[in-house]
């Protein structure tokens, strides 16, 4: 019988993953892209640029709550090399199957709006496409094999990206 990993160790691994992977994707890479001024918005958004803070303030907690659920409910991390051992179908996962990715992309779209940066907007769109392809061609087949009928039922009742109204009435 395998040794059960302590929740504190899983939490440390999750924290390290969050710092290095989403931290790089949402902070470091946009930081490198932004000062390049490769492409700016064709018009200034003026004071409305500060509305970009809203998706950032929504996206970050979504990601962090999902990482928490992966750690303490799923008994694993967001890292594909150390995934949850238990299917996580609570919290934001009741509304969309991939809320972590949604949170990251929301943050990036907010950054693109806030900094009036078309290059960050293009980066966010490319990342969204990459996430979609990764989910469809890698994650979903792996999760179907790992969790079987429970994951298949989860996929039938929970949309992949955009929540439906019914999911909020539960």
pLDDT of residue 62: 96
Which residue range is the domain that position 85 belongs to? 7-168
Residue range 100-149, pLDDT digits in tens: 999 999 999 999 999 888 889 999 999 999 999 999 999 999 999 999 99
In a domain, 92, yes or no: yes
In a domain, 72, yes or no: yes
Distance CA 6, CA 91 (A): 22
In a domain, 126, yes or no: yes
CATH classification at residue 95? 1.20.120.1630
Tokens encoding 67? 């990482």
Tokens encoding 103? 């949170």
In a domain, 2, yes or no: no
Model confidence at 2: pLDDT above 60 = no
How many structural domains are present in the chain?
1
Distances (CA, A) of 54 to 30, 57, 111: 17, 5, 10
In a domain, 1, yes or no: no
């Amino acid at each position: 019988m395998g040794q059960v990993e302590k929740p504190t160790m899983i939490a440390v691994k999750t924290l390290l993953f969050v710092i290095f992977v989403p931290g790089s994707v949402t902070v470091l890479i946009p930081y490198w892209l932004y000062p390049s001024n490769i492409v700016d918005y064709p018009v200034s958004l003026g004071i409305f640029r500060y509305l970009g803070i809203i998706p950032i303030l929504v996206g970050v907690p979504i990601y962090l709550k999902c990482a928490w659920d992966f750690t303490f409910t799923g008994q694993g991390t967001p890292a594909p090399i150390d995934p949850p051992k238990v299917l996580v179908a609570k919290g934001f996962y009741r509304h969309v199957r991939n809320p972590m990715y949604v949170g990251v992309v929301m943050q990036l779209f907010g950054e693109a709006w806030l900094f009036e940066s078309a290059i960050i907007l293009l980066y966010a769109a490319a990342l969204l496409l990459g996430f979609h392809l990764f989910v469809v061609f890698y994650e979903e087949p792996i999760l179907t094999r790992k969790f079987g009928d429970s994951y298949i039922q989860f996929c039938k009742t929970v949309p992949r990206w955009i929540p439906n109204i019914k999911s909020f009435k539960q």
